[in-house]
Structure 1
Amino acid sequence: MLYNTETRHYAASLSDPHSSAMLPPRGPPCHAQVTAERPLPTIPSFTPSPIAAAHCGSRTAARSRCACVVPRSPWAVQAVAMQRWGRVSCALARRSHFDRVHHGLQGVCAVPQRTYADQVDADVTVIGSGPGGYVAAIKAAQLGFKTVCVEKNETLGGTCLNVGCIPSKALLNNSHLYHLAHGKDFANRGIEISGIRLNLEKMMEQKSSAVKALTGGIAHLFKQNKVVHVSGFGKITGKNQVTATKDDGSTQVINTKNILIATGSEVAPFPGITIDEDNIVSSTGALSLKKVPEKMVVIGAGVIGVELGSVWQRLGADVTAVEFMGHVGGMGIDMEISKNFQRILQKQGLKFKLSTKVTGATKKPDGKIDVAVEAAAGGKAEVITCDVLLVCIGRRPFTKNLGLEDLGIELDKRGRIPVNNRFQTKIPNIYAIGDVVAGPMLAHKAEDEGILCVEGMAGGAVHIDYNCVPSVIYTHPEVAWVGKSEEQLKEEGVEYKVGKFPFAANSRAKTNADTDGMVKILSQKSTDRLLGAHILGSGAGEMVNEAALAMEYGASCEDVARVCHAHPTVSEAFREANLAASFGKAINF
């Protein structure tokens, strides 16, 4: 099997393009030469379906992966069935980019042997050890780069592990269990418990234990993969130099070939309101309150606001969320899902003031806080008194004091670092990923970017389809989505179909007595391609990954509907919604 430099395909012979195994390289050849004479391992060949192109995902096409998603029923006619077998052959022919970079498949994207001068301390220096930074550092080390990771905090893991994703999920889970035990839910299931009480100190200990275990796990992974951890505030002091300044003022200079900025984000301040992390708190302070407040006001009903508001409401606080926009759940959420989500949270006891702005907050002598609000469009002012004010209006990139100005790297108007499609700044060997660049501020988005960025340093192709990055709100029920919302499709003028399935009609949800919510699927009308999935319900954060996988490979709704799902499971609702989108009708609803 040979590599055709003109068609960029591997084939049994250069005169036989139809036997191509569809394994184009992921970018230009690296240090090992690729020639048309170089043999490759024998890989099954196939003839791709002529209608496959209409069903190729953008990431699939961009990565030149096999365009063999066959949309029509394998049981309809024998010809279409054979196209399905073509898809199987396609799957056998795939070789992941990770495998190519790791093993240097016959010279394609092989990692070069590390060669650096004595004065160079590292091939790659990562500033920041959050989800994007630590994953990038480990991946770089696995690819053969001598890697250093600089972290300003005492513990590794960044905001996510220490004061974000992880501790908040511990409190969300434990507060949900307390809510079930303290309310009527257990009694309705025949479980009668008396004397239920909240030990908040113990709950916080469990949260801290989880955080400690995971941050310690990163330190272990660094040691295992030979990543050098340097403590201190990392500043770029030259195109090939990072200086780490410790708390005691001492410094350590790292001479490096490549620099990767992964410093994450910080809480966005609210004009006129000073956060003291006592009774006017950010998301950080809200994770460590000493007691359950009697009344809490949350500024912002986006993802963080509803999650933390839900925690303290379930633990007994009277919580009111004030939101400038007219819906809950933040940006990107489908409006139909948002309205149903709001209704469920209100039924649980969470209060909302939508299309409302906060104009100020005043501390009273008794320690309580008067929060002044009014309609977003202007109108009569109102004062809400609370014990704790939680400010959750979003986050901003952490890019201050990194030395970017001295290098001529200018930030955009939102404080983000401009990069190209390989995450390079205007200085080619200085990269940036995660919250400091454009795109959603999500831990898993940063992880994906970190892996792809260092693979790019090794000579691989770099591509991420942000349309396939899922979002999750970890309340109960959860909300999760990936792809386009119905509002976005209307705005873009895309003709689409909708498939819905309520969890009230799902057998597993019924047996669990947890039937709030639904699955909503959006597909392209002309091709049946899955364009968006929106899930409101228990376990939505797990289910959305099936949708992301399907979209990643350009699957049609029928493709998903033809996959056998175990019974009884809540994920059957996802299959049923795809049936409804593709055929116009679900089976069990």
Structure 2
Amino acid sequence: MSSFDITVIGSGPGGYVAAIRAAQLGFKTAIIEKYPTLGGTCLNVGCIPSKALLDSSEHFHNAAHNFENHGIEINPPKANLARMIERKQEVVDQTTGGIKYLMDKNKITVFEGVGSFESATKVKVTKNDGSAEVIESKYTIIATGSKPSSLPFINLDKERIITSTEALKLKEIPKHLIVIGGGVIGLELGSVYLRLGSEVTVVEYMDKIIPGMDGTMSKELQKVLKKQGMKFQLSTGVSAVERNGDNVKVTAKNKKGEELSFEGDYVLVSVGRKPYTEGLGLENAGVELDERGRVKVNDHLQTNVTNIYAIGDVVQGAMLAHKASEEGVLVAEQLAGQKPHINYNLIPGVVYTWPEVAGVGKTEEELKEAGVAIKVGSFPMRALGRSRASGDIDGLVKIISDAKTDEILGFHMIGARAADLIHEGVTAMEFRASAEDLARMSHAHPSYAEAVKEAALDATEKRPLHV
């Protein structure tokens, strides 16, 4: 029987990073993955492939709508979806291949198969051919991630009624894509096909899209996407989804009690994700789940079984790849006797539409509900020379600071390259900077980042320079 210091079940951004850090720290490490390629949902059917399609569709959109304004004259472009899907897979293959290289480089033993507990210290790996082997591990890290949620009355046929996984490999551009759910995944994939010529209708139960983000960002993103052609039906609950051949009908009711129906050729069900623990055999090890099916952990990500830990989407908290990675590092370093920490308040969230949306810290709504006295500063992207030069004039930066101390409590933005610029806010808040600190820092001209300085000036003294 093979034995290891640390065994990781699941090779997503939480699992593979945990394995790498454990190996770096000198632990004899194994990782178990049931699929032929490493990288989990994020690298195979999530973050990476969706961004590849988002970039391809944005290039097409610019060629069709924006090139002429830049003095570039071309024949009307044609979207080759098959090639976009092919390129997406090339990106995925390169990225997952890179993870395999890192496993080899760090001398991590990779087992292909389904990992399940036989006891707290023994894990069985069941391979696709039915054969199995048992390995022994001093510590085990559960990193099995999540899978798409659905509604109990929806039959996901994965042909016309689909999840994000199928949306990444369609063979045709939908005529009318109905998206159930106005969260990050639905809006990103809806944007892909909107740019390629689909009619896209988003049906959302809440009264706003991206409900977990700052309200200003929600309103601004809806306004921008509506301008791009996306349709929204908010405060509406879906009650039925029926397929008839190549057509799908969605029946819903709004909060006024009115019956509504939508007909299209594809329905994307994007109502969140749920932790994936099926087949883990947690009962054999005595590991407890909470009321939402997540693995219960303490502040050290340790389960009720002292040598078993859990990280990422399978535990409480935001379902974000970078959160999982940080947790993987934390567990490995704890086991090595180090004192790592994670500030969960400073894990940024991003929506990769165009313009992008990003936020870190508290929202204005959260701070007001908590009774915190705040100052709010904002600055529109359209007031920047850099934005006008590129044509990316939609969006704004919003900085929220404490009314007494001026410490930055929330940093939110929608605009070009927000996914990268948000880390200016993360860095500032990690060091507990004030809005005035940001306002006094020199920002290159012309740049999108100048909006950060201007919003900080607005939050500090209500004296932005360029509006």
User: TM-score scaled by structure 2?
Assistant: 0.98
Unpaired segments of 5 or more residues in structure 2? none
Higher alpha-carbon deviation: 407-416 or 347-356: 407-416
Aligned to 2:444: 566
The structure with more strand, counted as a fraction of residues? 2
CA displacement at 1:461 relative to structure 2: 1.9
Give the partner amino acid of 1:361: V
Aligned to 2:85: 204
Higher alpha-carbon deviation: 276-285 or 366-375: 366-375
Residue 403 (structure 1) aligned to one of 281, 285, 288:
281
1:477 lines up with 2:355 in the alignment: yes
Aligned to 1:552: 430
Give the partner amino acid of 1:371: V
Aligned to 1:36: none
In structure 2, C-alpha distance between the alignment counterparts of 1:559 and 1:488, rounded to whole Å: 24
In structure 1, C-alpha distance between the alignment counterparts of 2:237 and 2:421, rounded to whole Å: 35
Asked whether the 8 Å contact 2:211–2:218 carries over to 1, the reply is: no
Give the partner amino acid of 2:34: K
Give the partner amino acid of 1:171: L
Asked whether the 8 Å contact 1:421–1:463 carries over to 2, the reply is: no
Aligned to 2:154: 273
Aligned to 1:521: 399
CA displacement at 1:379 relative to structure 2: 1.4
Residue 369 (structure 1) aligned to one of 241, 248, 256:
248
Residue 316 (structure 1) aligned to one of 189, 194, 197:
197
CA displacement at 1:563 relative to structure 2: 2.0
SS of structure 1 residue aligned to 2:118? strand
In structure 1, C-alpha distance between the alignment counterparts of 2:429 and 2:449, rounded to whole Å: 16
Residue 179 (structure 1) aligned to one of 61, 66, 71:
61
Unpaired segments of 5 or more residues in structure 1? 1-118
* Greater Rg by CA: 1
Aligned to 1:259: 140
How many percent identity over aligned positions? 50
Deviations 1:523-582 (A, max 9, x none): 011111010111010100000011111111111112222222211110111111112112
Aligned to 1:340: 220
1:530 lines up with 2:408 in the alignment: yes
Deviations 1:245-268 (A, max 9, x none): 001111121111100000000011
Give the partner amino acid of 1:131: P
1:500 lines up with 2:378 in the alignment: yes
Asked whether the 8 Å contact 2:112–2:127 carries over to 1, the reply is: yes
In structure 2, C-alpha distance between the alignment counterparts of 1:383 and 1:327, rounded to whole Å: 20
Aligned to 1:290: 171
Aligned to 1:585: 463
SS of structure 2 residue aligned to 1:516? coil
In structure 2, C-alpha distance between the alignment counterparts of 1:350 and 1:564, rounded to whole Å: 38
Aligned to 2:72: 191
CA displacement at 1:120 relative to structure 2: 6.2
User: TM-score scaled by structure 1?
Assistant: 0.78
Asked whether the 8 Å contact 1:306–1:475 carries over to 2, the reply is: yes
1:360 lines up with 2:214 in the alignment: no
1:349 lines up with 2:229 in the alignment: yes
In structure 1, C-alpha distance between the alignment counterparts of 2:441 and 2:133, rounded to whole Å: 55
Deviations 1:436-475 (A, max 9, x none): 1111000000000100111001111242111100000000
CA displacement at 1:378 relative to structure 2: 5.6
In structure 1, C-alpha distance between the alignment counterparts of 2:416 and 2:238, rounded to whole Å: 32
Deviations 1:326-362 (A, max 9, x none): 001131x111121111011000000000000111011
Asked whether the 8 Å contact 1:422–1:462 carries over to 2, the reply is: no
SS of structure 1 residue aligned to 2:357? strand
Higher alpha-carbon deviation: 398-407 or 139-148: 398-407
In structure 1, C-alpha distance between the alignment counterparts of 2:64 and 2:406, rounded to whole Å: 46
CA displacement at 1:203 relative to structure 2: 0.8
In structure 1, C-alpha distance between the alignment counterparts of 2:134 and 2:280, rounded to whole Å: 14
In structure 1, C-alpha distance between the alignment counterparts of 2:81 and 2:417, rounded to whole Å: 26
Give the partner amino acid of 1:530: I
SS of structure 2 residue aligned to 1:336? helix
Asked whether the 8 Å contact 1:120–1:257 carries over to 2, the reply is: no
1:305 lines up with 2:162 in the alignment: no
